[in-house]
Structure 1
Amino acid sequence: MERVILTGDRPSGKLHLGHYVGSLKTRVALQEDENTNMFVMIADQQALTDNADNPQKVKESVMEVALDYLAVGLDPEKTTLFIQSQIPQLPELTVYLLNLVTVSRLQRNPTVKAEIQQKGFNESVPAGFFVYPVSQAADITAFKATHVPVGDDQKPMVEQTREVARDFNRIYGEEVLVEPSIMLPPQGQGRLVGIDGKGKMSKSLNNGIYLSDSADDIQKKVMSMYTDPNHIRVEDPGQVEGNVVFTYLDVFDDDKAKVQELKDHYQRGGLGDVKLKRYLNDVLQAKLQPIRERREYYAQDKGAVLAMLKEGSEKAEAVAAQTLSEVKQAMGINYY
């Protein structure tokens, strides 16, 4: 049985290591499964819900995200890469689904509540942002996604999609929309802490290492990483827990025996932070250099990247159009 996956990112800038660990590596692996049909969406309409006054930023970010996708190995021959705003069926489907969701239900959505607080909207939350769980439900159901990869913080969004699909099918008496299953990241591939150790890696906190960062940028960021503030002298025993350098080594260093050796040495004393960071820098440079080189290669012909996105969007539109036709048929509003 074919597994249909819908996933994507809001274009708000270049993607960082948190995205790579949390989703991009998994997507590259999933596209190799011959029983999986994967749609990867650049959600520019969703990005506009809190960037309506700066559409140029969103437009530029679409290309940046596309380059990052190609750089990590997403293949347009195996995966449908498309731009959300280029699929007119999605906003139309959103309008129909909005009638199935109450304002109070949207207000109870934990993800929406958290993001409203995070962005400081208070009572001035844009209506488009407030209803984006329904827009997301339209994105997912338009492609009849059977699985949606998300982190723990996004589980309420998929749960709301399942509710909407279930209500639609019950009200209109046809099994048109699919209730998707949640795909959580593999153990140890969830959120990645930022280099300051204060929270998850994010652009807003300015604590990220980006896939497009130069070798010099990566080195500077690694050398500024949070370690153990009580590890003042090289000979002092150091703490591994909460030490960002070791967090990154656990994720990115394939030589687990070497990492354990470094942990033991650090804990008994005699291993300095500078030497440890230099080792991590070597590990990250080896991981990111081929990604950066592929990104630079694709960036030389952005016209070809746009053509790829156009082709993917046309393919995605055909699928969404079929679903929308079935939706209108079930609702009885296919008048002609």
Structure 2
Amino acid sequence: MIALPVPMIVALLLGYLFVRAVVLGNTTRLLNALLLACALQSMTVSLVHYYGFDDVRPLQPIMASLIPALAWIAFLESAIRTRFRLSDLWHGLAPVIMIIVMFVAPAFIDALLGGLFVGYALAIILALHRQGNDLAHSRLASGPVPALIWRVIAGALIVSALSDALISASLQLGMDRAPGIILSIFSSLAVLVIGFLALSPDLAIAKDHTDASKEDTQPSPSERMEPEVPIHEIMAGLEQVIVTEKLYLDPDLTLARIARRLGYPLKQVSTAINAQTGENVSRYINKFRIDHACAELGRGQNVTTAMLASGFNTKSNFNREFLRITGKTPSQWQQQSLSADT
């Protein structure tokens, strides 16, 4: 019977998911690159620690240094802005710096890896704190899920850094078998979590994201420095386009698209909604969607039809928002509504 070590199983699983993601084409290239890097890192760990391929050992820290940098750039692309910038290329220096350290000061390899993983994880967490749950290119129908996914990915990066620290400590204490166990449990789990979450449908490309990238030859309103705009003006314009054009019915609606439609910066739109309603952008938009869904259910439409007609594309998100706003499940609300009409 063939027995495979945990890192090899993780590598094969992530490799399959990478191929599937490329074929389906519903994730960004950077998220695919992150998934592939996780698969290759797990494969390298397996070859070195379980199959004795010492020749590929130098690749292990180099591949590992790619993961946090790719996670950060993928986060920027899917959550903050519309296009790749030349300044993002600086993050590609992480493996170059790692190679230099391997030759000049190998004793600092573990410290550099830990710093990269923790540093990029904290950068993601801080960016999410500034943005709240209002991520520029995440579908508003997904609510807080995309922000939660990125927080978990940041947590997985920190866990991976901690596992490297545990390996170093165990070697210092002469616990020769500990690194294999730590890699199998902590590192493989962290890499697997990052890979799986990168494929979440809540991080999938929204149509307005790809359209926006074509429009970005000039800076968008959300990227330019503009004077403060009164909140009531932003809200007046927002309510007009939301009500008259029914933008909330588009399942691919994002904060970036709303900001472009209004001609105001992303942050100003988000701040205005929060100040006026006490809620973030996704909750504000989903309130219109749930009202529309209630009207559909009241006319006798089934739950799935009402969900799709109201701008939601997954039942989990629809049910969560419906329960939050109405205090009932869609089925319960429909039963009570129809009973009241009879």
**TM score, norm. by length of structure 1:** 0.24
- The one of the two structures with greater contact order (alpha-carbon pairs below 8 A, sep at least 6) is 1
Larger Rg computed on CA atoms = 2
Name the structure where strand makes up a greater proportion of residues: 1
TM-score scaled by length of structure 2: 0.24
Higher helix share: 2
